[in-house]
Structure 1
Amino acid sequence: MEDKRQRARVQGGWAGPANIRTASRAASGVSNPSNQVLSSIAQSEVRREKLIPSERQFVFKAPQEVVRKVPEPIIIEKQGQYEISALPSGVSRLHLIPGFIDSQEADWMFEQLLQEVPWRQRTHTRKDLTYEEPRLTAWYGELPYTYSQLTLQPNPNWHPLLTMLKDRIEEITKHTFNSLLCNLYRNEKDSVDWHSDDEPALGRNPVIASLSFGATRMFEMRKNPLPENADYTYVQRVCVPLDHGTLLIMEGATQEDWQHRVPKEYHSREARINLTFRTMYPDPEAV
């Protein structure tokens, strides 16, 4: 009797023998708490394996897209003829002649042209905005010349020095020219942006002879992108440093397949004169 009372005080009046409580819980369908914990842990592991792939699935795969690199520009400095592209439209060629005019002779020619050519700064209008061209120009020829919606009026009164230079260039190139665009870059801030000399009045595949005096400036060219990929980032580029007295001749499909420019420069540059001889046609369709 005393044992029963003591057991009641320790376990509570409801407590019974351990084996009886287990049997009654099993009979009533209540599971063991420890089994529930184990089952919950197992289910969590299954879910975690589904959410987090195993280490064997972390495999590097190379990107499917081909990485494109910007091509290094081709630098042309030595005398010679260069084929820079061959496309269905034709072959594009450059002919570089450094020292075409002797340095001492080029010095006095530069000074005479700088003082006696009627240089003018043209004003452009684009989308109702006007701006001054960052260079000075002069036009010689019996026909007008229109570029970038700007028309230069005929000027048949050639300076004698320009006539002499035209004759010398015609002798070595075996091409004839009847027009001339003179360009004066006063300093490193003067420039001309990307363009092609492909005006209809120049005919198909025009020959342009470019003679430079004064400070060396970089003449840059870039190939026109194919129609399905009109992005100039990855096209081929050519750079030609044009020194005092250097003659550069552009032939073939150069004006159709390439653009060129003289960019602004960060370092100080003295004045430069560039003479671009060309042939104009009154009726280009008849050429």
Structure 2
Amino acid sequence: MRCDHSVFTRLNWGYPSNNFNFIYLAKTGVSVADREASLELIKLDISRTFPSLYIFQKGGPYHDVLHSILGAYTCYRPDVGYVQGMSFIAAVLILNLEEADAFIAFANLLNKPCQLAFFRVDHSMMLKYFATFEVFFEENLSKLFLHFKSYSLTPDIYLIDWIFTLYSKSLPLDLACRVWDVFCRDGEEFLFRTGLGILRLYEDILLQMDFIHIAQFLTKLPEDITSEKLFSCIAAIQMQNSTKKWTQVFASVMKDIKEGDKNSSPALKS
């Protein structure tokens, strides 16, 4: 269930390990009410984190470590605070790293543009990611794309939970760790490529479903999903639209939206 340890070194750049206790104690900028609300949510979420493993729940060997890391992060980044789903990411890191290193990796990981946009619920940025995702969705799975469109089924319905937890809640843990290995190497593009791989894997089934059943299916994926089948489907996904790669398409979406905002602005029209 462990990830390739070498990939986590990339997440550990930026903060000295011996600052962990200092960061945990530094509560600057966090109101008592906000801190207590976050700690209550953390307590509730920990009990639901990989419950089948029985290691993160109260009395388990990693309960206090997980609580400590999540509590420290809410103090370190009060502008983000604790968001439901973070516990799964921290738990995977705890299984692969020592406590201080796990915190550093957790903080660095959540500071990446994609994760920061989702955990801060930056609707504008999230819509840009969804729009870019749909470009490659239509390019790779046109039939399923049109099927989803016919039901007005948008990416936010299924992608948010996948991105929030980096698939650690949606996929079997050993498979999620394989996704993490490639994500740490290739970056955010692979998260969306994995999403398209899942859709490709279950395309025939999804084409037979209506809105409600699709949403239910993608919210709780089959537990018998295998690494070989999923990664075969991921490999078949082409992350290039015409001559543009993911980063170029994302940049184009950003530019188009900015220009659209300018054109729709009454102040600029006058």
TM-score, normalization by structure 1? 0.22
Looking at both structures, which has the greater relative contact order when contacts are Cα pairs under 8 Å and sequence separation is at least 6?
1
Is the helix fraction higher in 1 or 2? Answer: 2
Larger Rg: 1
Higher strand share: 1
